[in-house]
Amino acid sequence: MKDKTIPPINGYWYFNKTSFNVSNGCIYFRMYTVTKTWRHINSEGWEKYHDEMDLNCILQFETKDELYLDVSTIYRYLSEKKQMDYCRIRNIIE
C-alpha cells in the first residue's frame, strides 16, 4: 500500500490484534489512534474533545510464497510494538 493520505497524527497508532487477517493473497489489519484535546466551545469554558481514527491496511503480495514467508514476521513486528508513530507505520506498509 503506497497511499499518501495517512494522516500524520502527533500521537501514537496502536495495532488492533483481532483485525489481523490473511486471505486472497493479502494481509489485512487495522491501526487506531485516539486524540484527546481541549477546545473552546463558548465564552463559559472549554470542552474535552475525543476523536478516534482507524487506519485499514492491506498488504498485497504477488505470490502466495511471498505472503507465507512474511506473514509471521509482520504479525510479530506489529504485536511486539506497544505504540507506533507515523513514520514507523509508513515503513511497514511501503
Please report how many Cα atoms fall inside a 13 Å half-sphere around the Cα of residue 4, on the Cβ side: 0
Burial class of 65 by CB neighbour count within 10 A (0 to 12, 13 to 18, 19+): exposed
Q: Residues in the chain with pLDDT < 50?
A: 1-4
* Residue 10 pLDDT: 61
E strands in 1-83: 14-23, 26-42, 45-60
Nearest-CA neighbor of 83 among 11, 34, 12, 32? 12
* Residue 13 pLDDT: 83
Ordered by start, the domain boundaries in the chain are 14-93
Please report how many Cα atoms fall inside a 13 Å half-sphere around the Cα of residue 91, on the Cβ side: 7
**Enclosing H/E stretch for 73:** helix 64-80
Q: What are phi and psi of 51, to 5 degrees?
A: -140, 140
